[in-house]
Structure 1
Amino acid sequence: MAKTKKRKHIPGGWQDWMTDRVLRGAIWCALRLPLRARLWLMGRLIRHVVAPLAGYRDRAMDNLAHVWPEMGMLDRRRLADLVADNAGRTMIDNYDVKGLMRRMAKAAIRGDGLTAVEQAHSEGRPVLFVTGHFGNFEAPRAALVARGYQIGGLYRPMSNPFFNAHYAANMHALSDPVFEQGRRGTMGLIRHIREGGMGVLLFDVYDSAGVPIDFMGQPAPTLTSAADIALKTGALLVPFFGIRKEDGISFDVVFEEPVAHGDPVEMMCEVTSRLEARIHAHPEQWFWIHRRWKPKRQRKRAAAKMGP
């Protein structure tokens, strides 16, 4: 039997519009519920409605098969559903900016890099935090902002243009300056860091201009932007993670030991290794719904470079 060809997703098409309408309505309703009910509702909505509708479940299962081919279909489905649940909880966490900051003001923060961060803050020295789409990646930023820090950032626009409009506005609400990824945004972040500021970058997204670095055992093009900015500005490069606890509500906030300055690719290999360790410990908390590897595209690009 011939294999059914998957319908190509068109950014800005009806699927994106419908997904955004569902999410906007759910966010509005959920923010009027108590915290525990709100998180439960959004976790279930993304898990059972949005993820299947938007193709996130299939994408997560494909990525899991790419990295762990020995994992059975049922285990991949179960893990993909847990990933969607965490994504839903993270979304509504971050749409309640004031509430998240109140929660994180009381949260314990720890890690080998915390002392270095506190000292840099007191001395007005630059710090660039780096993390991945893991747990709630805004929780550590909120914890610092709630303690009087100003943490800028660089974000990659969402592929869904309808959703991106309010997603970007919400990022600005937590702490400015926030810049859209691109040459102009990168220069803005560099100026902020160079002047003694603090900022955060999420590095675990596919970019064809990146350097192939093994991620979870498979090559993944990775930009060296975080290392490059740290080297240009003299900033500490500090990995941090907001790890969701078993209650599904609270977080462990960990600031890891700063990555030593050196070769940019080696620095990003170290950053990647730090994230991998967190994923192995909590695989359900990384956003497997991202197109991190794009193996077919990588093969095509490699073949094109080799020529006829």
Structure 2
Amino acid sequence: MARATTESRTRLSFRHRIEDRASAAVVGAAKLLPYERRVPAMGWFARTILGPLALNRRTRANLKHVYPDMPPAEIRRICRDVADNFGRSLIEINSGREFAERVTHLTPTGPGLMALERAHAEGRPVILVSAHFGNYDAWRANLSQRGFRVGGLYMPMTNPATNRRYVATIESIASPLFPRGAEGMADMIRFLKSGGMLGLLGDHYMANGELIDFLGKPARTATSAAKMAMKYKALLVPLYATRSPDGLSFTIEIEAPIPHTDPLTMTRALNDSASARVRAHPGQWFWLHRRWKRAEPDLRGDQRGDKSPSNSPTETA
């Protein structure tokens, strides 16, 4: 009901229809291929066509902000990898149940797995925090198939037609889902208090967030995950799905729960965790976001002209 209310407030314009049909055509054409071919094909499309047209500029700007002395050849390599992972993630998410079935056999590793199992047995709430890294829906699908109650918070798209298709697809991967904003908040809190595991992505720019270092640069970061963990006595657990060299499978790693101290210290730990993953695999993080917007003067001019893809599969956890 919350989703329908959100969509009813946004008028479906002619531009929305054209954008939706174009994206649906690309995804539909890719889905004619067998799964093992469609994923690398979409990686190629994003790497060679979409990247130069729409993705690489934002990646280059963010890389230069974080690594001002990075050699041009390395910047080009990371741009290619980021676009490739974007394309693969896009078609994986749009493959719905087929994608979910591909990741069910994966065995998560890391010290946090036992903590999740214990919390599940005890009915204790858990807040799972990841980043726009690898494919975050891989761990969401995997944990759901393992019997954990994993809910996800998502950002509704501005295009109502595309949003309807998008939500239906990610619901087929795992559910429940809660739209970001007041409409989904009440249901999300009830789910968490009932002992559910709530998945979030913690690397968004938040206008009213605290300035906390991310990759060594101050970035406006929400402390809400830590605040909820403390308020509802929930575990706060970082986790990631790293794409394997074959480009099709993933390694799911669940880190140890972050101790409850105070929201700022806990959020710093989350940012440090995500930063370590990005440093280890820079091509797997979505450098496409305006992560350092209004935090550093040298980015402001470029950020105002951001043209990030409107159909980016980057808002769900």
Q: TM tier, shorter chain? A: 0.7 to 0.9
State the distance in 2 between where 1:72 and 1:164 align: 39
With the length of structure 2 as denominator, give the TM-score of the two structures.
0.84
State the distance in 1 between where 2:202 and 2:273 align: 12
State the distance in 2 between where 1:73 and 1:197 align: 45
> What is aligned with 1:205?
204
User: What is the CA distance between 1:73 and its match in structure 2?
Assistant: 2.9
**CA separation of 1:229 and 1:253: change in aligned 2, threshold 3 A:** same
The amino acid across from 2:90 in the alignment is M
Q: Any idea what SS the aligned residue of 1:110 has?
A: coil
User: What is the CA distance between 1:48 and its match in structure 2?
Assistant: 2.1
State the distance in 2 between where 1:26 and 1:118 align: 40
The answer on whether the counterparts of 1:110 and 1:253 sit within 8 Å (CA) in structure 2 is yes
Q: Any idea what SS the aligned residue of 1:106 has?
A: coil
The amino acid across from 1:95 in the alignment is N
User: Is 1:50 matched up with 2:22?
Assistant: no
Q: Any idea what SS the aligned residue of 2:104 has?
A: helix
With the length of structure 1 as denominator, give the TM-score of the two structures.
0.86
> What is aligned with 1:40?
40
State the distance in 2 between where 1:20 and 1:76 align: 31
> What is aligned with 1:269?
268
User: What is the CA distance between 1:164 and its match in structure 2?
Assistant: 3.4
User: What is the CA distance between 1:14 and its match in structure 2?
Assistant: 8.9
> What is aligned with 1:194?
193
The answer on whether the counterparts of 1:19 and 1:50 sit within 8 Å (CA) in structure 2 is no
State the distance in 2 between where 1:71 and 1:158 align: 34
Q: Any idea what SS the aligned residue of 1:292 has?
A: coil
The answer on whether the counterparts of 1:127 and 1:199 sit within 8 Å (CA) in structure 2 is yes
State the distance in 2 between where 1:234 and 1:296 align: 31
Q: Any idea what SS the aligned residue of 1:69 has?
A: coil
> What is aligned with 2:121?
122
* Equivalent runs, 1:17-36 vs 2, <5 Å: 20-36=20-36
The answer on whether the counterparts of 1:101 and 1:145 sit within 8 Å (CA) in structure 2 is no
The amino acid across from 1:59 in the alignment is R
User: What is the CA distance between 1:176 and its match in structure 2?
Assistant: 2.4
> What is aligned with 1:3?
none
* Equivalent runs, 1:113-262 vs 2, <5 Å: 113-158=112-157, 163-262=162-261
> What is aligned with 2:62?
63
> Cα RMSD over matched residues?
2.4
State the distance in 2 between where 1:62 and 1:87 align: 17
Extract unaligned runs of 5+ from structure 2. 1-11, 301-317
User: What is the CA distance between 1:148 and its match in structure 2?
Assistant: 2.1
Q: Percent identity?
A: 42
State the distance in 1 between where 2:85 and 2:189 align: 31
What is the number of equivalent residue pairs in this alignment? 289
The amino acid across from 1:141 in the alignment is R
**CA separation of 1:292 and 1:164: change in aligned 2, threshold 3 A:** farther
Q: Any idea what SS the aligned residue of 2:175 has?
A: coil
Extract unaligned runs of 5+ from structure 1. 1-11, 302-308
The answer on whether the counterparts of 1:154 and 1:178 sit within 8 Å (CA) in structure 2 is yes
Q: Deviations over 1:71-120 (max 9, x none)?
A: 13332122112101001111111222222222222112111100010111
The answer on whether the counterparts of 2:211 and 2:295 sit within 8 Å (CA) in structure 1 is no
State the distance in 2 between where 1:63 and 1:159 align: 24
User: What is the CA distance between 1:281 and its match in structure 2?
Assistant: 0.7
State the distance in 1 between where 2:218 and 2:18 align: 34
Q: Deviations over 1:169-217 (max 9, x none)?
A: 3222222221111133233212210111111010111111110111111
The answer on whether the counterparts of 2:210 and 2:221 sit within 8 Å (CA) in structure 1 is yes
User: What is the CA distance between 1:247 and its match in structure 2?
Assistant: 0.5
User: Is 1:101 matched up with 2:66?
Assistant: no
